[in-house]
Amino acid sequence: MYRCVVLLSLLFLTLLPTGQSALVEEADVQHLSCVADNDCRLTTYPIGEETVGGQVQGTPFAPAEVVLEFIIDPAQDVLVLLPSVLDHVELDLRLDDDPTRLSWPTLDLRLVHGDGVTQWSLAPSMEGTGPAYVDDDVALELDGRRVLWPGDDVRLLIGFSLDRPATWSLHLRGASSIEMNIVWSADPEAADVDEPSSRLEPVETEFEMAHDGALVGDDVDCYTFEVEAHEVLRVLMEWDLVPIELQQQSARPELILADGREAPTPEMQVVQDEERASVRYVWRALREGDTTLCLQGQADRFQAYVWAGMLSYEGIGPVDPGGFSGEGTYPEGGGQAPPAGEPMVLAEPTSGVAAVGGVALLLLGLLDFTRRTTSVLLRFGVTVPGLLLVLTAGVVHPLVAASSSVQQPGELTLEEVIDDRLAQLWDVAAPGIPESTMVLHAGATFGRLDGEVLRLRLDVTDAVPLEDGRFQLQAKGLDSLRLDEAIFGHVARAGGASSEHVQRFVLLAGRSLLLDLLMLEALLVVEDVPPNNVVHLNLAMTSTSPTGSVTAPAWGTRPSDIQSSAWSVLQNALLPERIAVSLCDCDLDLLDIRSVPADDLRASDLPRHEGVLASDGLLALPGWTLLTGIVLVAGGWTMEAKRRRHAKALAQTMFGFHSAS
C-alpha cells in the first residue's frame, strides 16, 4: 500500500484588532505538491516534485490496492464555515503503460471534514488530453455540520485498485489541485481578548467604556465594576454577525449586585440587520457599589461582541423604549418595477348569478321550437347556432368563470399563507432545533422546500403597465398588512414559550415575511391584463443558490420554470440594501421592521414564468358572443314569423280559406 501525506490548507482571514471577524467569499485553489517522496502537501503555489508514483503487481484474483492520504498540516487553527460543495477537483493520475485510458481505474474519494465525511467515486474521462479525473460541484455531506473548529481533523483519501501489473503516476506542479470556496472564517483565540476571566476571577474594568470580547463555546466572561448613583442603567451589546449555527447573542447578561443578588429582568430592545445585532438592556434604580456582569456561552458556538454601559437620569436622552415607534407595516411596492403607464383597475369576477339571465334567454329562445318550422335550413342554420351561442356565453361561461374565481382545493389565501409561514418559523425557531434546519426553512422562498408547491388564490386591484409590455399586478391588502400584529398574534396563540424562543421567532419572522412578500410582488407579473381581479399562483419550487449573507440566506428555492440565471438576476436586484428588525421586550411588546429597498429593480429583472393563472371562463369575448347569439335567435324568429305570415297569406289566396285567428 502506498501512503502519501498531504497538507489540505483552508482559506481564512485574520481577525481585526477590534475583534470583528471578516467574511470572505473567495475561491481558493490548493496545488498538490511533494517536496519529497514521503512529504506531500497541498500548497497555494505549486512547488516540489513533478510526479510521484509506483508500480503494482495486481491480478484479477488479487487486485492491488493503492491509497493516497492527504492530511491537514499544520493542524486546523481557525474556525471556518464549510461550503455546500467542493467547487473543483482535478487529479492528473495516469497509468503510464495505457495511453488509451481504457484500463484506468475509478477513484474512490473520501473527504473527512471534522465530524462529517463525504464519499464519492470518480471515473476517468475518455475525452480530451487534459487530466482524466475532473469533477465539479461535489456536494459535501455536511448533515448539519457546516462548522469546522480549530483542531478538527481534515483529510482527503484517494483509493483505487488495479487488477494487472501497472505503473501509475500522480502529476503535480499545478497539474493536480483542489478548489474550495470558504465563505466565512474567524480566529476565536484572537477574538477572545477578555480572557482569562470567570465567575470567580472577573476582569476589573470601568462600566462606562467599550469592552471587546468573545464567547467561545460554553465559557463565561465576567467583568466587575462600580455602579454609581443613577436612575437608569443601560448595557448595550453589539454582536458580530456569524453563521446562525454559531450565534451566542441569545445570552442575556447576568448582573450580580453588590449584595450578591441578581438584578431583576431588564427591559430589552433587539435590533438585527445585515451588519450587526444590537441588544439594549435597561435596568432602573439598582443598588450602588461593586457589580459583576457575566455572559454565559453555549457549547459549540462562537461570537465576538462589544459591550458598553451607561448611567443616566430620566429625561436625559433616550434611556428607555418610550420613543419606540412599533411600526410593522409591510412597505407595499418594494417588489415592483417602475410603472410605464397608469394602473388599470380590474373588474370583479363574473358571478354565477349571471347564468340565470342566460337560462332565461335560452328558455325564451326554445319557445320557438314549440311551433313547426317553415324552413329546416333556417332553424338549424340560424336559430340553433344562436341558441348554442346563448347557452355557451350566457350559461356555461358564467358558471365556469365563477367556479374558477373561487378558492380551489389545496389553495391558500394570503392570510393562510402568512399563518402557515409563521407556524413553520415558530417550529424551527424552537430551542433544540438544529441550526441547519432553521437556515434551510427560513431561507426557503415562502418556506417551500425543493419539490413542494405553493398554491395561492389572490385578489388583485390593479394591473400596472411595465416598460417591456408586461403588467405588474398589485395584490389587495398588502398596503395595510401589519406584520407585527400577525407575528405577535401567533406568539399569543402559541403561548407557553420561553423568552429565548419568542425573541428568536420574532426576529426571524420579521425578516422572513418581509422577504417573502417582496418576492410575491416581484412574481406577480403577467403578459396580458387578466379579465378580472382574481388570480391563482401555482409555483412548483426547486432548490437554488440563496442570496444574502451566510448568516441570513434568502430565497433558497425558486419556481421550477424560472432559470437559475434569471432567478439570480432577480435576487440581486430585489434584495434590500438593508433590513433592520427591532424587538422591544418591554411592558408592551413592540416590533419595528425597516428596510432600505433596492433602487435598481427594473422590468427586465423580473423573470417570465407561467405560475400566475387568471381566473376566467371559456370565452375571450363572452359579451360579444352572447350578443351574436341573441341576434341570431332574434333573426331566426323574425324570419320564421315572416315566412309563416307569407305562407298564411298564400294559403288564403289559393284556397279562399280565412283563418278564424
Amino acid at 657: F
User: Per-residue pLDDT for 11 more than 70?
Assistant: no
Residue (of 15, 421, 449) closest to 242 by Cα position: 15
Cβ proximity of 431 and 501 under 8 Å: yes
Q: Cell 395584490 appears where?
A: 475
CB neighbours of residue 640 within 10 Å: 20
Give the lowest-confidence range in 244-248, 266-270, 368-372, 591-595. Answer: 368-372
**pLDDT band at residue 588 using 50, 70 and 90 as cut-offs:** low
pLDDT > 90 in the chain, percent = 23
Q: How far apart are CA 286 and CA 230, in angstroms?
A: 8
Q: How far apart are CA 584 and CA 578, in angstroms?
A: 20
Amino acid at 480: S
Backbone conformation region of residue 656, classed left if phi is above 0, alpha if psi is from -120 to 50, else beta: left
Contacts of 233 (CB under 8 A, 6+ apart): 227, 282, 283, 284, 286, 309, 310, 311
Give the lowest-confidence range in 51-65, 154-168, 325-339, 427-441. Answer: 325-339
**pLDDT band at residue 414 using 50, 70 and 90 as cut-offs:** very high
**pLDDT band at residue 415 using 50, 70 and 90 as cut-offs:** very high
DSSP state of 522: H
Could you tell me which residue, 646 or 444, shows the higher pLDDT?
Answer: 444
**pLDDT band at residue 25 using 50, 70 and 90 as cut-offs:** very low
User: Per-residue pLDDT for 41 more than 70?
Assistant: yes
Give the lowest-confidence range in 105-109, 124-128, 349-353, 479-483. Answer: 349-353
User: Per-residue pLDDT for 243 more than 60?
Assistant: yes
Cβ proximity of 302 and 186 under 8 Å: yes
Cell numbers that stand for 20 in this block: 470583528
User: HSE-up of 322 (CA within 13 Å, CB side)?
Assistant: 7
Beta pairing, strands 107-113 & 154-162: antiparallel
Give the residue-averaged pLDDT of 339-347.
Answer: 88
User: Per-residue pLDDT for 85 more than 90?
Assistant: no
CB neighbours of residue 323 within 10 Å: 7
User: Per-residue pLDDT for 479 more than 50?
Assistant: yes
Give the residue-averaged pLDDT of 426-442.
Answer: 86
Q: How far apart are CA 415 and CA 477, in angstroms?
A: 10
Determine phi and psi for 275, rounding to 5 degrees.
Answer: -105, -30
Beta pairing, strands 107-113 & 116-122: antiparallel
Beta pairing, strands 116-122 & 165-171: unpaired
Q: How far apart are CA 225 and CA 228, in angstroms?
A: 10
Strand order across the beta sheet in which 210-216 lies:
210-216, 302-312, 232-239, 277-284, 267-272, 578-585, 590-596
Cβ proximity of 342 and 466 under 8 Å: no
**pLDDT band at residue 43 using 50, 70 and 90 as cut-offs:** confident
Contacts of 5 (CB under 8 A, 6+ apart): 38, 39, 40, 41, 69, 70, 71, 73
User: Per-residue pLDDT for 128 more than 80?
Assistant: no
Q: How far apart are CA 73 and CA 6, in angstroms?
A: 7
**pLDDT band at residue 97 using 50, 70 and 90 as cut-offs:** confident
Cβ proximity of 155 and 17 under 8 Å: no
pLDDT of residue 75: 75
Residue (of 591, 579, 589, 594) closest to 497 by Cα position: 589
Q: Where do the H-state alpha helices sit in 35-115? A: none
Could you tell me which residue, 392 or 341, shows the higher pLDDT?
Answer: 341
pLDDT tens column, 201-214: 898 999 988 888 89
